[in-house]
Amino acid sequence: MATVQEALLIAFDLHQDGRLDEADGIYRRILDAVPGHAMALHLRGVLLGQSGRLEEGCALIRQAIAGDGTQPDFHVNLASLLEALGRRGEALDAMVRAVGLDPDRVVQLNGFATRCLEAGWPGEAVRALRLAVGFQPLAIALRCNLAVALSADGRLAEAEAERRIALLLNPGDAELPRLLGEWLSRREGAAREEAGRMLRRALRLDPLHHGVWNGAGRLHNEAGRLVEARRAYEAGLAVDPAVAELWNNRSNVLKGLGELDAALTSQHRAAALKPDEAGIHNNLADTLLLMDRSDDALGHARAALALDPGLGDARMIRALALLSLGRFAEGWAAWEERWTVPPWSLAAGRFPQPLWTGQPLGGDRLLVWGEQGVGDEIHFAALLPLLVRAGVRCLLECEPRLVPLFARSLPEVEVVARDWPPDPRLTQPDIAPRRVDPALAPAPAPIAAQIPAGSLPRLLAGADGVPRSAAPYLVPDPARVAGFRAAIPPGALAVGIAWHTGNPKYGRSRNIPLRELAHALHRPGVRLVVLQYGDWDREIAALAAEGVDIGVPPGLDRWNDLDGLAAAAAATDLVVTIDNVTVHLAGALGRPTCALLPHAAEWRWLRERPDTPWYPTVTLCRQPAPKDWSEPLRLARQRLDRLAGGLVGGPVGG
């Protein structure tokens, strides 16, 4: 007859082989003979846990610990079952008791913390790693993991302290200053300067560490030092050309530098290394959209979404590609997904009223609110007269600088300056009456629904989805128009010009040097009128010294005074501008306008056509190839020559 120990070994072998029923039978017989046998209680508890009977398993292992609490395995396995039950606090306590008995079990404590982090429980991960560091205070890996957990838990100062301690413990490890440098690079001011020092230190310690070059490139890129960022990424690729992230990041920098062909090649290298990476397909789509290859961009955006349906950037690229292709019905529907990405996501839910879907409002008011840039607000406000004609009572919340211009131009629409939080009159279910004499004016009707201005085209487009517009609809201040026109030499043609946008993504492809634009339009009898915001005094003075007739509208703040800028544009005979706010002002005013567009124009200008359904008086002058402004400038000169043929003088109205 087998002894208890022999029976236990037989049961354990059966257990290991997966023959759980047979093993359990022997464990039970052992416990019938020796009810308090600690190892049999422990092993049967493990077996029950493996069979899904977690509570029973925990109870048996606790009995085993009560009989012999010196076995680390008992505590580790109890912790495992408690964790499976979701009782993480008890599991951690059991794990700590195991480490107290055997310090080498700190590995299990670290694993527990890792699982907590992956499951979205950073607080429990921090507690576990704090305890682990208490057992092994010189363990650098534990310090680094603790920093990650603290960061995930929002305890950023403590996370930074742990990274610094790890660096002090091993100052010769290049990975540690790299990690600290990348951490500091997320902050502003002096921290970013220290980040640069840390990354340079890491490179001195290990110049063949591609991750350090990647971190240095990211730091340069975020600071706008694109050439330096490119060099850093290429240095990393020289170390290891098989790192997809470096190819991807290099591509993004090349896009910023306007080197789209090279960016596309780099992006294809990244995709070849990681074909199932959604972010790489997303960046490929973005590059292709910038190259005026909307069909290809659409394909990669869809590939990105197939891999990651929640990828907001890919949703936006899909919408922009569809709109660029003139597939409006699909495009406007896809455009509604913009609320998943910044900056739109920051404005989502600003107003409590239900979204308007075109239903009758029964005399109540509709709140329309601008949610994008100034140019976009002018663009989409061209749809408000259509609502007014349809009998919809509108209230418009807009950029404060646009209030005077919109209030004059849209007299049947109440215009309110955007504020954060919004004006209480816009968010209360029942709008309180204004302080007016009730005998003279009724209390305003409630706001029954709201809609962001960029969602109006979907509701107001024609059956084919083609955008509709009431432009020209802006009305400038006639007195200011006359004043600005009086500053133009008598008999001269006034040509308003704008050449720059500060848009960080599109500026490099849209901007044209002032000198190139001015010399293209310079001719006798033409006064170039600066409609461009920003400090360009030196460049303007240099052109004037060369004999170019160029001037700034007197007394006009071209940034803050948009009403004045509209009047200055209305005082010109022709506007020649890149794609910035000026083209929207001029088009909405009905001024003859030449829009100088890059090869891959924004979606609203569609493709391969010289006109736009948004602004009837705007002529689209497109680049035939990236960086080539010769054709757009030729078309603008041609338009100017035709205008000069029937020389126009005197004040020009709105």
Q: What is the pLDDT of residues 589-623, one digit of tens each?
A: 999 999 999 998 998 898 888 999 899 999 999 99
Token digits of residue 246: 């470096």
The per-residue pLDDT for 653 is 37
**Any idea which fold 365-431+442-460 has?**
Rossmann fold (3.40.50)
Alpha-carbon distances of 485 from 409, 493, 529, 573, 636, rounded to whole Å: 20, 10, 10, 10, 22
Contacts of 474 (CB under 8 A, 6+ apart): 378, 405, 409, 566, 585, 588, 589, 590, 654
Flag whether pLDDT at 436 surpasses 60.
no
Distances (CA, A) of 185 to 110, 166, 169, 234, 594: 27, 18, 22, 20, 43
| Burial of 538: CB neighbours in 10 Å, binned 0-12, 13-18, 19+ | exposed
User: In this predicted model, what pLDDT tens digit does every residue of 368-401 receive, in sequence order?
Assistant: 999 888 999 999 999 999 999 999 999 999 999 9
Mean pLDDT of 259-285: 95
The answer to whether 571 and 485 have CB atoms below 8 angstroms apart is: yes
Other CB atoms within a 10 A radius of the CB of residue 154 amount to 10
Confidence of residue 192 (pLDDT cuts 50, 70, 90): low
pLDDT beyond 90 at 342: no
Instruction: Report the sign of the C-alpha dihedral through residues 574, 577, 582, 583, in that order.
Output: positive
Evaluate if residue 207 carries a pLDDT over 80. no
**Cα torsion 342, 335, 451, 378: sign:** positive
How far is the CA of 327 from the CAs of 232, 322, 339, 379, 606, in angstroms? 41, 5, 21, 19, 10
pLDDT at 421: 87
Distance separating alpha carbons of residues 359 and 362, to the nearest angstrom: 9
What Å distances lie between residue 242 and 178, 218, 247, CA to CA? 20, 18, 9
**Predicted pLDDT of residue 187:** 66
The more confidently predicted of residues 440 and 490 is 490
User: Taking a C-beta distance cutoff of 8 angstroms, is the pair 559, 588 a contact?
Assistant: no
pLDDT digits (tens, 9 = 90+) for 508-546: 889 999 999 999 999 999 999 999 999 999 999 999 999
**Banded pLDDT at 343 (limits 50, 70, 90):** confident
Q: Quick one: CA dihedral 115, 118, 123, 129, positive or negative?
A: positive
Poorest-pLDDT segment among 53-67, 327-341, 437-451: 437-451
Q: Residue 648 above 50 pLDDT?
A: no
- pLDDT tens-digit profile of 278-336? 999 999 999 999 999 999 999 999 999 999 998 999 999 999 999 999 898 899 999 99
Domain with CATH 3.40.50.2000 in the chain: 478-645
Question: Does residue 347 surpass a pLDDT of 50?
Answer: yes
Per-residue pLDDT reduced to its tens digit, 553-567: 999 999 999 999 999
**Nearest of 183, 185, 181 to residue 199 by alpha carbon:** 181
- Which residue reads 């057992």 in tokens? 135
The CA distances from residue 380 to 52, 615, 642, in Å, are 60, 11, 31
Q: Which helix (H) or strand (E) holds 415?
A: strand 414-417
Higher pLDDT, 231 or 346: 231
The Cα 209–Cα 14 span in angstroms is 49
Higher pLDDT, 447 or 204: 447
Amino acid sitting at position 390: A
Instruction: Kindly indicate the confidence band of residue 442, based on its pLDDT and cuts at 50, 70 and 90.
Output: low
Looking from the CA of 39 toward its CB, the CA atoms found within 13 Å total: 10
Average confidence (pLDDT) over 95-110? 83
Give 455-480 pLDDT, tens digit per residue.
999 998 877 777 778 899 999 999 99
Confidence check: pLDDT of 2 > 70? no
Q: Where do the DSSP E strands lie in 418-530?
A: 447-452, 493-498, 526-530
Tell how strand 526-530 and strand 574-578 pair up: unpaired
Q: Which CATH superfamily is domain 478-645 in?
A: Glycogen Phosphorylase B; (3.40.50.2000)
- Residues 142 and 155: their CA atoms lie apart, in Å, by 17
* CA geometry: angle 170, 174, 179, nearest 5 deg: 90
The confidence band for 175, taking pLDDT boundaries of 50, 70 and 90, is: confident
Interval 347-353 mean pLDDT: 89
CA distance 599 to 291: 7
Categorize the per-residue pLDDT at 652 as very low, low, confident or very high, splitting at 50, 70 and 90: very low
